[in-house]
Structure formats: C-alpha cells, structure tokens
Chains A and B, each alone.
Chain A
Amino acid sequence: MNRVKYFQEVMEIEAYVYTAGPIGTRWLQELKNGRLTAAYCAKCGKLFLPPKMFEPETFEEAVELRPIDDVGVVETYAVIHRGFDGEELKEPVAVAFIRFPGVEGGLVHYVKAKELRVGMRVRARWRPVEQRVGSITDIECFEPV
C-alpha cells in the first residue's frame, strides 16, 4: 500500500549532439584512416592525449596532431565479470589503461590477452577499413605484441 503519492517523470533531453572540437574531429578522422595520433604542443614540445586544442599544464595552444606508434604499455587493468545491471557475462572482459612512450596521458581500451599483466606491451587491433566510423571503437581492442 502506498502511503504517499508518487510521480513518474523521464528527466532527459531526447538527444544530445556533442562536438568533438576542431582537433578532436581530426583525431577521430585519423583513427578512421587507421592511424593513432596525439596532440602536439609546438611551444612546450609535449605530445598528449586525449587530444584538445590546448595543453592543460602549460595552457599553450596545440594545433598539430602527430602520428604515434599504436603499441603501448599496460599501466593497470581490470577484469569485468558482471555488467551494468549486475548480470553475469558469458566471458570476463579486460579493460586496461595504456600509456604510449613519449606521450602524456593515455587511453583506456579493451585488451584481449591470455595472460594479461601490468607492464605488458600491447598493440591496437584495428577494425577492417569498411567498419571504421571515426570513433575510439575503430580500434577493436589491444592485444599482446
């Protein structure tokens, strides 16, 4: 028995449309081309991820993207056994934080490896060209080198 009246509402905008920004857009286009890049700040000489039009520590402008090797190092990882709603996954899925030599920051991505460990070198497995859409998921996952 309800002792008070309840109201139901859906409190959302129907659809958000986010901008990737000028440099973020180019970064995604490069992924579609199968190239991993990082933002480059000419004034402070830093390569950094995620890409943006300024380097956050020095506050200098970054207008350039430079290609980086799609091989990184696992800084840490986690293994997902249950999904968003608490349901048990058929197979556990590993996600890792991956750093790239000479680049500030890094990427989080899925990793498929039999014996995943911190410090392991991993390489991007790219989706076939026709499946790429200009998204971080154009890289399907990372796997051991």
Chain B
Amino acid sequence: MSRNINFKHRVAVVGAGMTLFRRRLLETPQELAWLAAKQALEEAGLALKDIDCVVIGSAPDAFDGVHMKGEYLADGAGGWHKPVVRVYVGGATGVFTPIAGWWHVASGLCRKALVVAEEKMSHAAKPHPQYVFRYIWDPIVEKPLNPNLIWIFAMEMHRYMYKCGVKKEDIALVSVKNKRNACGHPSAQLCDPNITVDDVLKSEVLVWPVQRLDVSPVSDGAAALVLADEAEARRITDTPVWIKGIGFTLDTTHWTNRDLAYPEYVRRAAEMAYRMAGIDNPRKQIDVAEPYDPFDYKELHHMEGLGLAKKCEAPILTREGVTQRDGDLPINPSGGLLGVGNPIAAAGLMKVAEIFWQLRGEAGARQVKKPVYTGLAQAWGDLMQAGTVIVLGI
C-alpha cells in the first residue's frame, strides 16, 4: 500500500454510542446491540432507514451461547433488509469492525454504514466464561496440560519484565491510571478513584506474575459507530472525524514461535495504518491513543509495538506521567478495558468511540488536556496473534 493511495471515498465517523459495561446486564444481546446502535444513530441525527449497510462484530458465539451470533444480532444491529456482515478476529474484533465498515464505505459500496459490536459474557455462566477458552489450544502439544489463558499472559508478562528490566510496581501504575481514568466514564464498570499501586500488588496472585488487579473484568456490553462517505459526512455534521488509516495482521499461531517481549503483530498492523495515514513519527504525530489493555502490561507492550514508545520505554513514560490524561501522550483516557470493562468486541469499539469523542472535544470529564488532532485505537486477539489498528483525525 503506498502513502498516496487513492481510495474512492474518504470515510468519516459521524456518531458513536455505547451501553453500560457491567458484569451482568438485564437486556438480551439483541437489545444491547440496539441500545448502542440507536444512540449512535441519534448522535448522527439519522434513522435506521438512512443506513445502507451494517457491519457486526462479536467474539466467540460461545459467550452469548447463540450459534450464528452475527445473524442473531442482526435485528438489534439494524441489519434488516440491508447488506450485513459479521466479522470476527477474537479480541481484535472491536477495532476490526470499523475497519470492515471503512472498506464498505471507502469502496463506494455503501454511503452510510452502521457498525455494531456486542458481547454478553455473562450467559456462559457455569463454571465461568473463561471456560470458553479451554478449547483454543493445540490438541497435541498443549491441551493435555489443561492450560488457561492466564498461564500464557503470565509467561508473556514475565518475559517482558525480564527483557526490559521492568518491576511489577511499574506495571501496576497502568492499572491504577486506567481504573482512576474510568471514573470519568459514565459506562464504566470498575472506576476506583482511590486505587494505589499497593492495592494492585496486594491483590490475589492468579498465575504469577499476574494478580487480580492486573486483569480486566468479565463484562456485558455493546458499542456502535455510524460511518459515512465525505459528501454524506459533510451533510450530517460540521465536525466529522476521518478514518485516516487502517491496519491488520496476524502473527504465527504458536506462542513458541513469537517474540513474547515485543508484539510484532501490532508493529506490522500499525505500519500499515501509518503508511495510509502518512505518519512517519507516531510519537510526535499521534496526540492520544487507546491501545488494548486487557492486562496492564499489555498497554506497555502495545505502546511499544505502536511506536509510541521505544522498546522497553513505555514503563518509563508511564512512571513520568507522560501517559496521564494531562500528560504529553495521554494513553487510554477512557479508562480502557481495565477500568471501563471488557465485553470483548464492544470493548475494542469503545476505544474507537473514545478517540472519536476526544477528537471532537466531546469526552467531557475524560477530555485530555492538550489539544488533539490525531488519535489511534488498537486491539489484539484471535489466538493472541491478531493486531488491528485504526488512525482517526480531524
């Protein structure tokens, strides 16, 4: 992809919406999708009849417990007598959904697209939603060991700590920052204005070095965006936010074949998005970012993969306060997955919505101090090898 690539249409985000993120919401999955979609349409001043096509994102069917979840969600996502697709790249889905929406509009296929992500993890009730992940492992070399996800994250975290000489105290700062940031978010599940590094370090050890407060919660929720081509966007709003670049990559399937201290899958996805957006110095050109933070160390990991920090530099920037809301490079001003919550696909799309609201100056109590013109959101998933990146700008 060249830097001067000419797509048929520029694509803008013109509205966003989301539900509360909670451990257990009363509404059905369809109803959650509708709440978010309706809010996004209202923010754009549009009705469902104005929408040409619908893109749905949702993680494993096994969470909601409905096979063909995309088709099931279609009514709630406005997919009624319109072209509809559902995309799914595990945890990376939330950012992949607007990427798929982008190509619908950039290609000229649709002028206005509704993008909806939903997750209802509470349905997978017994023993725990985590059990959905028991069957992602290689049946020959891994499954007989009965692994769970946290084993692997713990090993990745430890490798990062070892390679970069990072202490648990430095990593806990991310959890503290994000759970405090979440107090400005009306949808947040885990706001804690008084949390300290000590609280994180004293929380129970799940799989060393991962402790309970290093991890994002299990959540229900939905989020939505309205995308439009340039002519439509200019009719709809005076303040469109443009999608300037998109990128997505897979790394190898196998843990044993990856660099666990550095997320190659993010670097490649970011480079693709940066080329399209004309960004050659992300540390200077990105004003605010929402990297994927299901675990606190992953925010640091992903900042480095995104080129927002040099290798092993993210903990230092964090300690110096650079990544705070009033810092020079605000990271996860929403509160992220650690603070707002983690209904998988909806959490990723929440990050894109946050950048949209930040760039429009509509983030309320969460608005970052410095003026912001360009921002990015990133997610991570599949068998922990997918990277998805979107760059937004005004």
Nearest B-chain residue to A7, judged by Cβ: B139
A58 at interface, CB cutoff 8 A: yes
Q: How many pairs of A and B residues are in contact by the CB < 8 Å rule?
A: 73
A20 at interface, CB cutoff 8 A: yes
CB-based contact B143/A9 at 8 Å: yes
> Interface residues of B toward A: which range?
20 to 34
- For the complex, give the distance between the alpha carbons of A56 and B54 in Å: 14
Nearest A-chain residue to B47, judged by Cβ: A59
> Chain A contacts of B126 at CB under 8 A?
13-17
> Chain A contacts of B135 at CB under 8 A?
9, 11
CB-based contact A19/B41 at 8 Å: no
> Chain A contacts of B76 at CB under 8 A?
52, 54, 56
Contacts A7-B139, A22-B27 given: A16-B123 contact, CB under 8 Å? yes
Contacts A13-B62, A13-B131, A59-B48 given: A19-B78 contact, CB under 8 Å? no
B122 at interface, CB cutoff 8 A: yes
CB-based contact B78/A21 at 8 Å: no
CB-based contact A54/B38 at 8 Å: yes
- For the complex, give the distance between the alpha carbons of A24 and B26 in Å: 10
CB-based contact A16/B125 at 8 Å: yes
> Chain B contacts of A16 at CB under 8 A?
65, 123-126
> Interface residues of A toward B: which range?
20 to 34
CB-based contact B125/A13 at 8 Å: yes
> Chain A contacts of B48 at CB under 8 A?
57-59
Encoded as 1 (CB less than 8 Å from any A CB) or 0, chain B from 105 to 149 comes to 000000000000000101111110001100100010001000000
User: Interface with A: B28-36, B362-370, B375-383, which one?
Assistant: B28-36
Q: Which of B27, B127, B143 contacts A19 (CB 8 A)?
A: B27
CB-based contact B28/A59 at 8 Å: no
CB-based contact A22/B26 at 8 Å: yes
CB-based contact A56/B27 at 8 Å: no
B80 at interface, CB cutoff 8 A: yes
Encoded as 1 (CB less than 8 Å from any B CB) or 0, chain A from 43 to 78 comes to 000000000111011110100000000000000000
Nearest B-chain residue to A58, judged by Cβ: B48
> Chain B contacts of A54 at CB under 8 A?
31, 34, 38, 76
CB-based contact A53/B31 at 8 Å: yes
CB-based contact B143/A7 at 8 Å: yes
CB-based contact A14/B127 at 8 Å: yes
A sample of 13 more A-B contacts (CB under 8 A), given A18-B28, A59-B38, is A7-B143, A9-B139, A13-B62, A13-B132, A14-B131, A17-B123, A19-B25, A19-B27, A19-B28, A21-B28, A54-B31, A56-B76, A59-B41
Shortest 7 CB-CB contacts between residues of A and residues of B:
A17-B125, A16-B65, A15-B126, A21-B28, A59-B48, A56-B75, A54-B34
Interface residues of B (CB under 8 A from A): 25-28, 30-31, 34, 37-38, 41, 47-48, 62, 65, 75-76, 78, 80, 120, 122-127, 131-132, 135, 139, 143
